[in-house]
Structure 1
Amino acid sequence: MGNNTRSRGFTLVTAVVATMAISSCSAFMPKSTSRSSAVRSLSDTATDGFTSDGAKTQIGNDSFLNEDLMARAQNGPGVVNKEKLKIGIVGAGLAGMIAAMDLADAGHQVEMFELRPFVGGKVSSWQDKDDNHIEMGLHVFFGCYYNLFGIMKRTGGFDKNLRIKDHVHTFVNDGGKLGALDFRFPIGAPISGLAAFAATEQLGIEDKFHNAVRLGTSPIVRALVDFDGGMDMVRELDDITFTEWFTQLGGKRGSLDRMWDPIAYALGFLDCDTISARAMLTIFMLFAIRTEASVLRMLDGSPQTGLHDPIIKYLEDRDVKINLSSPCRELVHDLDPETGLPTRVRGIKIGAKNVYHEFDTVICALDVPGIKKVLPKSFRQYDMFDKIYELETVPIATVQVRFDGWVTELNDDARMMDISGDQSDGRGGGIDNLLYSADTEFSCFADLAVTSPGEYYKEGEGSLIQAVFDARATKRSQEQLVEDCIAQLHKVFPSSSKLNCTWSSVVKLGQSLYREAPGQDKFRPKQATPISNFFLAGSYTYQDYLDSMEGATRSGLMVADEVIARADGPNGLKAMSVKLQAEAKAEKESSVEKEPEKEKTLFFAAEAA
């Protein structure tokens, strides 16, 4: 496309977007800025059932724009309970570890139990025998991860362990053609977003036009003048797919295939025909309102080193005990003798020998398949627990392939083959950013030797591509996945066919994120449960963000706030625990007293018998 044609296309689409936005804003403008006391925002009702003010700040429309959440996560709970609880946490993923941070700072005795030989849950990483760092998934930090950034500042990892990327979302297409959403614009959101969509090479003029029409009539535009109203509209769209929403008023298939599908796969490993409109529009809403929301960061090295190790040190400094390779075998609990309903969790049994650990409070900080395995059958009598079994998950496969040159170096054969000298600290050839593609089976990928060189670059080696395959490919063998990954890389980077693969790894997760399909959101449980001393955490639990690192962080902070709010007082968790332990002791002593005295038998009579 020539410069004049490109300029006319940009101007036309920008004009359409601006016109639609202005007219839509006028239509959506509230007649009064005050909210009627008789009408509650959907986000207001979402806070029902939460006790702590801290948990409530993580829920509802205000939480999306609340930059103070970063300070809260950085500074800790800001309270030390009068009573000291003995707390057991099942699961040492992000949610569990972050909950442990706050609970330890609030003065409680915390012990954690993790099934795997390493922490991190779905954000885990480890080293093989040759010191290659292996991951599950590809972990990117969006600029709106306010809570997680606060945690990283609290543990000292934010400034030194994250690398900020250019404010561009890059699409790599067949033949090495690039498209982009380039948010680098003198004026921030929403203008930078309008400019990015209008100028993108990923769509033709016709698709840009229809894209502009659909986005111009979306809840995103309403949110610019009435954020509560816009977000409430988004919440009501959980029962339809993004494709259904997008095509209702002008959106076309071309936009879905070439741009929205890669983004949907990157967010939830589902295409637009499957993912909930609510899930997609929640992210776009943040991009439209906050300039920094679409800025990407990646760790300088592995998640273990850059994210988990600082948290582990923080916990160990506060005497939190982390037990690895320690699966929970049973939640030991009491039942109401009349109703048969669970009333209290007394403790947990751990490992092959079912070692019993008693606690005042138990938190299960697991993923969806984990919590389904751990919950006793009796718990499903409560609707909250029973709904968990309605949550579905998606499979993924993470493929890592290392080459003897730079795969993502475009149109420069000499640079592609140059792996001489020290090319650490991001100096290697290639694209230093997250990459999307509509022409490969991996939803998103990156050259970790460039984007996260601290532990992924090896001197004398080239690119380390990490690609995440979704359900379309996970049933294939590991060998076939590696072959397919290399072949598809050659499609989008044709010159890379001259390179050789020197190492590869495949990690499959049959059940990864919970499936962000229509109708799933209503099954997500809150952190406090009908069993007063039993709590849940994990990114699948109820919080307004997606199943992500930020979602896990939010849930960990929320469950800690809920426990802290309930710990003290005559009816608090500690008082209840002491009372029930005393009752159990008295009952045991009473049963011993009532036991009839055994008849004494003469020694010689026993011998004769």
Structure 2
Amino acid sequence: MVRSSCLLSASVAALCLAVRNFAFLQGTPPSPFHFRNERRARTAQRVLIDSDKLLDRSRQSRAAKGPNQKVKPEEKLKIAIVGAGLAGLTAAMDLSEAGHEVTIFEARPFIGGKVGSWEDKDGNHVEMGLHVFFGCYYNLFGIFQRLGIFDQALRLKEHTHTFVNEGGRLAGLDFRLGNIGAPINGLNAFFQTQQLEPYDKFRNTIALALSPVVRGLVDFDGAMENIRDLDGISFTDWFLSRGGSRGSIERLWNPIAYALGFIDCDNMSARCMLTIFQLFAVRSEASMLRMLEGSPHVWLHAPIQKYIEERGGQVLTRRRVLDFIYDQDESGKPTKVRGLVVTGDPGAGRQDERREFDAVLAATDVPGIKALLPESFKRHYQELANCMRLVGVPVATVQLRFDGWVTELNDEVKMKDVGGDKSDGKAPGIDNLLYSADAEFSCFADLALTSPADYYKEGQGSLLQCVLTPGDKWMGKGTDDIAKATLEQVHRLFPSSKKLNCTWWNVVKLNESLYREEPGADRFRPPQRTSLPGFYMAGSYTYQDYIDSMEGATKSGLQAADAILEDTPLLSRTRRREPALASA
């Protein structure tokens, strides 16, 4: 305990010294009285100069209230949205709320994109990933508030990030420190953690004290500029160059990187990881976690679809976009997007349809946009050609149902007890997101505990949802083999689980999920407003100053809707209700 206290004191001193030195270089008097007296003013200034709105809590209010405008009747547009993921759904909410006529085309039989879920014939809810909501998801939380479901749909977890090591040894980052918030609670979490050896903890402090995160405490925009400039190198290269240790990478940062972007620190851009650290350092709530009450379809997508349809929008599933309709000049350069060619209503006699629109918003993922863009678009517009430089990351999500409670480590009787009412999180075990450095699923959770409304089943036990990353090695394997390998690793983490039976399993494989946030990739992310008139883009891979995530998708959808609303007068003047000149 004495040694840990000394380390914590040393780390706090190192951080304070770094802040003071930075402030001195900026011309700010380093007096401790100055820091104390001006703290509130600096905090207010940071929010005001947060040009990308990463810290701006008013974004939550904006997302909750919707667009502050209604279109004139004569300027009402017909807008097509390709893709019913969070980006497309969020954009549709704003555009339909403003008065436009919105139609969403989704190729899959369900909505939600990478956050999609569905119910199988036996009543099991199946997801395409494990979805956790960080406290800095201001835009997405605003959407929950607009729908009136924030308190009902989200379950707040303890302010800890728990690691499960081989043999059931628990460690983690405990951000709970009474009324003390960021950055001190974060420093305490890192220096009290048992996930790292004392030497690695100290080296961690050196690296973080020399990071842009320190500058962000007094100059947020300046720090973010520094962080963006680090997109060309990996987090590992940056971290080791600042005094961090390989042990910290392997035991702490890799599991976090896998959970965030499905790749390790050797392959992830320093920009990506440091963006998250910056938010954690400045905002206490940023590191807090919430999970849905149940499945995404029930608790998020269905309310969004209802909202859109109540405002005259349409959400059409099993409708694939085959082609674009567009004007072109004499050289073949597309000059205006006019509509889409889509598959018709499902069923016998299905025929393709030509549908004319005043604007088209492509709200897809990386493989989706690559398949969607015509060659002429990529040939004549560089920001669209850049999309071909982005790569999706493979991932496999495994669900394992047991006849007991896997994460209950202290009481074998409780572990095996599935009788009685264990709904609403009353079952024994760990009710939180879990990380591991000793398994190929770097993050996982017992959904019967964390999201019990749809995942708890009476008389049954844990439903572990495990995300296998990196997923490359699993793409060519059969689902039986994947489930078996996952179960073996569960047994290594939780030896007591060998006394339980796995009663059901499911595997979902995605060849390309999140875009690969590797060094140098950030510059290829396209803007929401493209150079091609009438064509807009959204999706978490499009440019917004955050990582590929649910919040990133939501932010991109809101930005795309803002762009279309700003362009509405021009789009209404240039619309045409006659066949366009060309299709791809």
The TM tier, using the shorter chain, reads over 0.9
1:372 correspondence with 2:349: no
Matched position secondary structure for 1:274: coil
The partner residue of 2:103 within 92, 108, 111 is 111
**Which residue of structure 1 aligns with residue 151 of structure 2?**
159
Matched position secondary structure for 1:63: coil
Question: Separation in 1 of the partners of 2:297 and 2:48?
Answer: 26
User: Displacement of 1:64 after TM fit?
Assistant: 1.4
Matched position secondary structure for 1:312: helix
**Which residue of structure 2 aligns with residue 508 of structure 1?**
509
Question: Separation in 2 of the partners of 1:222 and 1:318?
Answer: 45
Deviation per residue, 1:353-387 (Å, 9 max, x gap): 32111111111111010011011000012111110
**Which residue of structure 1 aligns with residue 463 of structure 2?**
464
Matched position secondary structure for 1:119: coil
Taking only the aligned residue pairs, the percentage that are identical comes to 55
Question: Separation in 1 of the partners of 2:26 and 2:365?
Answer: 44
The partner residue of 1:24 within 18, 25, 45 is 18
**Which residue of structure 1 aligns with residue 352 of structure 2?**
354
Matched position secondary structure for 2:445: strand
Question: Separation in 1 of the partners of 2:361 and 2:4?
Answer: 53
**Which residue of structure 2 aligns with residue 290 of structure 1?**
283
Structure-2 change in CA distance of 1:555 and 1:58 (3 Å): farther
Correspondence list, 1:509-548, <5 A: 509-548=510-549
Q: Is the 8 A contact 2:49 2:220 kept in 1?
A: no
Question: Separation in 1 of the partners of 2:266 and 2:508?
Answer: 26
Letter paired with 1:355:
E
Q: Is the 8 A contact 1:268 1:515 kept in 2?
A: yes
Question: Separation in 2 of the partners of 1:472 and 1:253?
Answer: 24
Question: Separation in 1 of the partners of 2:195 and 2:210?
Answer: 22
Question: Separation in 2 of the partners of 1:325 and 1:355?
Answer: 13
Deviation per residue, 1:151-204 (Å, 9 max, x gap): 011012211011000000000000100011000002000010010001001011
**Which residue of structure 1 aligns with residue 347 of structure 2?**
none
Question: Separation in 2 of the partners of 1:277 and 1:259?
Answer: 15
User: Displacement of 1:26 after TM fit?
Assistant: 2.1
**Which residue of structure 2 aligns with residue 384 of structure 1?**
383
Q: Is the 8 A contact 1:113 1:327 kept in 2?
A: yes
Structure-2 change in CA distance of 1:193 and 1:419 (3 Å): same
Q: Is the 8 A contact 1:61 1:227 kept in 2?
A: no
**Which residue of structure 2 aligns with residue 557 of structure 1?**
558
Letter paired with 2:474:
T
Correspondence list, 1:264-343, <5 A: 264-337=257-330, 339-343=331-335
**Which residue of structure 2 aligns with residue 439 of structure 1?**
438
Q: TM-score, structure 2 length as denominator?
A: 0.92
User: Displacement of 1:229 after TM fit?
Assistant: 1.9
User: Displacement of 1:472 after TM fit?
Assistant: 4.8
Matched position secondary structure for 1:88: strand
Letter paired with 1:343:
T
Unaligned runs of 5+ in 2: 29-46, 344-349
Question: Separation in 2 of the partners of 1:228 and 1:112?
Answer: 36
Unaligned runs of 5+ in 1: 1-6, 34-56, 588-609
Question: Separation in 2 of the partners of 1:543 and 1:479?
Answer: 39
Letter paired with 1:452:
S
The partner residue of 2:58 within 68, 73, 76 is 68
User: Displacement of 1:31 after TM fit?
Assistant: 2.9
Q: Is the 8 A contact 2:196 2:251 kept in 1?
A: yes
Matched position secondary structure for 1:247: helix
1:396 correspondence with 2:398: no
Question: Separation in 2 of the partners of 1:518 and 1:59?
Answer: 27
Q: Is the 8 A contact 1:61 1:231 kept in 2?
A: no
Question: Separation in 2 of the partners of 1:31 and 1:406?
Answer: 55
Matched position secondary structure for 1:275: coil
Q: Is the 8 A contact 2:323 2:372 kept in 1?
A: yes
Question: Separation in 2 of the partners of 1:480 and 1:185?
Answer: 43
Deviation per residue, 1:297-350 (Å, 9 max, x gap): 00010000111111011011111111110000011112111x321111111111
Letter paired with 1:467:
C
Question: Separation in 1 of the partners of 2:425 and 2:558?
Answer: 34
Letter paired with 1:292:
E
**Which residue of structure 2 aligns with residue 50 of structure 1?**
none
Structure-2 change in CA distance of 1:317 and 1:159 (3 Å): same
User: Displacement of 1:411 after TM fit?
Assistant: 2.5
Structure-2 change in CA distance of 1:461 and 1:473 (3 Å): farther
Correspondence list, 1:60-139, <5 A: 61-82=51-72, 83-139=75-131
Deviation per residue, 1:248-300 (Å, 9 max, x gap): 02111111110000000000011111111000000011001000000000001
Q: TM-score, structure 1 length as denominator?
A: 0.88
**Which residue of structure 1 aligns with residue 40 of structure 2?**
none
1:248 correspondence with 2:241: yes
Letter paired with 1:297:
R
Question: Separation in 2 of the partners of 1:61 and 1:484?
Answer: 46
Question: Separation in 2 of the partners of 1:71 and 1:111?
Answer: 26
Question: Separation in 1 of the partners of 2:49 and 2:106?
Answer: 28
Matched position secondary structure for 2:341: strand
The partner residue of 1:12 within 2, 6, 9 is 6
Question: Separation in 2 of the partners of 1:10 and 1:231?
Answer: 31
Matched position secondary structure for 1:420: coil
Structure-2 change in CA distance of 1:66 and 1:183 (3 Å): same
Matched position secondary structure for 1:433: coil
Q: Is the 8 A contact 1:473 1:481 kept in 2?
A: no
**Which residue of structure 2 aligns with residue 574 of structure 1?**
572
Question: Separation in 2 of the partners of 1:58 and 1:158?
Answer: 27
- Alpha carbon RMSD of aligned pairs, Å? 1.6
Letter paired with 2:133:
F
1:150 correspondence with 2:142: yes
Correspondence list, 1:417-456, <5 A: 417-456=416-455
Deviation per residue, 1:46-98 (Å, 9 max, x gap): xxxxxxxxxxx999645111000000000000101221001111111111111
Matched position secondary structure for 1:504: strand
Matched position secondary structure for 1:466: strand
Q: Is the 8 A contact 1:13 1:212 kept in 2?
A: no
Q: Is the 8 A contact 1:411 1:495 kept in 2?
A: no
The structure with the largest alpha-carbon Rg is 1
Q: Is the 8 A contact 1:59 1:543 kept in 2?
A: no
Letter paired with 1:507:
V
- Greater CA drift, 74-83 or 394-403: 74-83
Deviation per residue, 1:504-553 (Å, 9 max, x gap): 00000001000010000000000111111110011110001111110010
Q: Is the 8 A contact 1:58 1:554 kept in 2?
A: no
Q: Is the 8 A contact 2:204 2:243 kept in 1?
A: yes
User: Displacement of 1:13 after TM fit?
Assistant: 1.8
Q: Is the 8 A contact 2:381 2:532 kept in 1?
A: no
Question: Separation in 1 of the partners of 2:352 and 2:525?
Answer: 30
Question: Separation in 1 of the partners of 2:206 and 2:239?
Answer: 10
Question: Separation in 2 of the partners of 1:484 and 1:26?
Answer: 51
Question: Separation in 2 of the partners of 1:9 and 1:142?
Answer: 32
User: Displacement of 1:9 after TM fit?
Assistant: 2.7
Q: Is the 8 A contact 2:396 2:508 kept in 1?
A: yes
Deviation per residue, 1:378-434 (Å, 9 max, x gap): 001211111000001100000000000000001211110000011000001110000
**Which residue of structure 1 aligns with residue 38 of structure 2?**
none
Letter paired with 2:444:
F
Question: Separation in 2 of the partners of 1:86 and 1:225?
Answer: 46
Q: Is the 8 A contact 1:25 1:224 kept in 2?
A: yes
Number of positions where the alignment pairs a residue of Structure 1 with one of Structure 2: 550
Q: Is the 8 A contact 1:344 1:533 kept in 2?
A: yes
Q: Is the 8 A contact 2:233 2:270 kept in 1?
A: yes
Question: Separation in 2 of the partners of 1:119 and 1:404?
Answer: 31
Matched position secondary structure for 2:399: strand
Q: Is the 8 A contact 1:214 1:250 kept in 2?
A: yes
